[in-house]
Each structure stands twice: as structure tokens, then as C-alpha cells.
């Protein structure tokens, strides 16, 4: 199964793609979509959409995971981030793939083991979990962390579903 993780942002949206075979994870690609910082918000959103569509077309992931918006003290910044997050949710959904969402602290806990890990710790653990991976900046490392988190959680959900189906077939 091929997963894409997305770390949305108006200045840069990180993306990371991994392949999952059983419990084995392998790095496929990563990068950032970076709209012009001088562009109007609508034009930035178009650039994010076009850039993420190009990533989807190039790497053909099966599922997507998007980091949830972290609400900060500045409501205007949170709202703008929400616009970028909307594009990050829309692109894979329009491509017909399942899209999962994960809170920032859950992503950090899944990758580092602590919900308040630093960007440096996340980058180090991503490189440890995905040998030979060199993330294209913090945004790409965060996106790979989202993909890793999804791999762990999707695997658990699949095992639960298989167990429930088995129990149902046995009449329990």
C-alpha cells in the first residue's frame, strides 16, 4: 500500500510518500509545494492544488493522511491555515482515495513517542524509521511523520476490522 502524508501550510505544504508492506515502511519520495509568498491567497490555493495534483499523478498513492490544524492564538493565521488544509483534504478526496486526519500530538507520539516532540526530534526519528531518507525540510519531515502515523493506525484498524469480520462469520 502506498500512503501520502500531508502537512498543510499556505507558505509550504509538505508531502511525503511511503510504501507499507506488512509492518515494513519504506521511503518513496518527499517534498514541498511552495506557492509564491507575494501571491494573493486565492492564487496560493491554486498553486497548492496544482502542486498536490502533480504529486498525486506522479506517485499514485492509495491512501492519504492530513495533519489537523493546530489552533494558535491568532485566529486569522488559524483560518488561513485552514484554507490550505482544505486543499490538502480536497486533492486526495477528488482522486477517490480515503483520507484520514490526525492531530499533531498524535503524529508526534506515533513517531517520537512524545506528544510534544520538537521538529528536530521528528526529523531525526523520520530518518531513523525510513533509512536513506533525507526530508526536503521540516514540512516534508512532518508530512512523512503523518504518513508513518497513518501506517501504524491504519494497520491497527485493518486488524480490528478483520477480527470483527472473522467473529461475525463465526456467528459471535
What residues contact residue 27 under an 8 Å CB cut-off, 6+ apart?
A: 16, 17, 18, 130, 131, 132, 133, 144
Q: Which has more pLDDT, 161 or 69? A: 69
Rg (CA), the chain: 16
d(CA 117, CA 98): 27
Residue showing cell 515494513 = 24
- Grid coordinates in use for 118? 520538537
Strand 2-7 and strand 13-21: the pairing is antiparallel
Residue count of the chain, please give it.
172
Q: How far is CA 170 from CA 14, 44, 158, 164, 165, in A?
A: 45, 53, 18, 10, 9
- String of DSSP letters for 84-108: HHHHHHHHHHHTT--EEEE-HHHHH
pLDDT of residue 170: 76
Q: Which residues are catalytic?
A: 7, 67, 139
1-37 pLDDT per residue, tens:
999 999 999 999 999 999 999 889 999 999 999 999 9
Cell readout for 154 is 491504519
Of 4-13, 44-53, 66-75, 157-166, the poorest mean pLDDT is in: 157-166
Local confidence band at 115 (pLDDT 50, 70, 90 cut-offs): confident
Amino acid at each position: 500500500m502506498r500512503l501520502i502524508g500531508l502537512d498543510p501550510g499556505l507558505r509550504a505544504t509538505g508531502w511525503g510518500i511511503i510504501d507499507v508492506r506488512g509492518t515494513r515502511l519504506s521511503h518513496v519520495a518527499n517534498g514541498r509545494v511552495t506557492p509564491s509568498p507575494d501571491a494573493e491567497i486565492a492564487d496560493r490555493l491554486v498553486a497548492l492544488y496544482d502542486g498536490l495534483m502533480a504529486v498525486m499523478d506522479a506517485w499514485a498513492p492509495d491512501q492519504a493522511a492530513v495533519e489537523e490544524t493546530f489552533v494558535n492564538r491568532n485566529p486569522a493565521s488559524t483560518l488561513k491555515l485552514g484554507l490550505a488544509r482544505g486543499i490538502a483534504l480536497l486533492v486526495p478526496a477528488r482522486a477517490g482515495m480515503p483520507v484520514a486526519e490526525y492531530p499533531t500530538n498524535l503524529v508526534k507520539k506515533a513517531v517520537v513517542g512524545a506528544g510534544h516532540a520538537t521538529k528536530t526530534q521528528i526529523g531525526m526519528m523520520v530518518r531513523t524509521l525510513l533509512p536513506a531518507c533525507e526530508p526536503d525540510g521540516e514540512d516534508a519531515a512532518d508530512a512523512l511523520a503523518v504518513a508513518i502515523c497513518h501506517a501504524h493506525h491504519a494497520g491497527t484498524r485493518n486488524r480490528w476490522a478483520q477480527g470483527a469480520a472473522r467473529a461475525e462469520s463465526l456467528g459471535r
